[in-house]
Amino acid sequence: MSRVQSIERAFAVLGALTDGPIGVTEVADRADLPKSTAARMLTSLAREGAVEQLPGETRYRLGPRIESLATGLAAARGLVAIAGPHLAELAASIGEVAGLSVPEGDLIHYIDQVDSDHPVGVRDWTGARLAMHAVSSGLAVLALRPPAEIERYLAAPLERFADRTMTDPTALRERLRRIQLDGYAWTAGEYTEDVSSVASAIADATGEVVAAIHVHGPSYRFPILGREADLGLEVATVANRIARTLRQSPT
């Protein structure tokens, strides 16, 4: 069975379970698969947590991993809807690209971007997943994690992406303390040469850091010399506005 065929059959099996728990025979019928193939697919999907067998029964239902993925998607869409107008305002005010990202384990996932009117900009990072220590959004999020999580992250090998990527744990530890005090994080050419960025984290009603917003642009024009603190505070102020909206939104 080819990998593509396996993926197609896996989705067919998952689709067969969307109306509720059913047995292997009915899964095979709905997915138009031989019963033996359906059984193998169910076993494989169960190992991944995508389906599960009802306790004491032979029927299967969608598993916790599917629910987790769906919940994460809904949350991300909600964040994009809430943050969008604020990103547009930020991009217009500063004149550079503004973006939104969410943490995924030890990575930061860029999920939205609003371009500026400037004719020379930077690439669209939407969809990228990057190491936290190399980008402003990642540093802003990492700085607000519990001390034990920060130490765990710093204890792992830290990849260098550019000459200016900071990989020394001692230096990063001090940098994160500075970010905690400032409320924003700056990077300059640390993941991609000649791109500077400033970011601030967003916490939800429970205090959990769920996202970050950033503004980035070519280093030759961004930031304007001497305006680093002002721009950082502007981004942090917008992040706080988004956080307030999140706290006021119905759960």
Q: Where along the chain do the CATH 1.10.10.10 domains lie?
A: 3-62
User: Is the peptide bond between 218 and the residue preceding it cis, with omega within 30 degrees of 0?
Assistant: no
CATH topology of domain 69-248: Beta-Lactamase (3.30.450)
Q: Where along the chain do the CATH 3.30.450.40 domains lie?
A: 69-248
As given in the structure block, the two tokens for residue 189 are 């050419």
Which pLDDT value is given to residue 122? 74
As given in the structure block, the two tokens for residue 112 are 């939205």
Q: How many CA atoms lie within 13 Å of 147's alpha carbon, on the beta-carbon side?
A: 2
Q: What is the DSSP letter of 91?
A: H
Residue 81: exposed, middle, or buried by beta-carbon count in 10 A (0-12, 13-18, 19+)? exposed
pLDDT digits (tens, 9 = 90+) for 85-127: 999 999 999 999 999 999 999 999 999 999 887 766 677 888 8
CATH topology of domain 3-62: Arc Repressor Mutant, subunit A (1.10.10)
- Mean pLDDT for 160-169 is 96
pLDDT digits (tens, 9 = 90+) for 74-91: 566 678 888 889 999 999
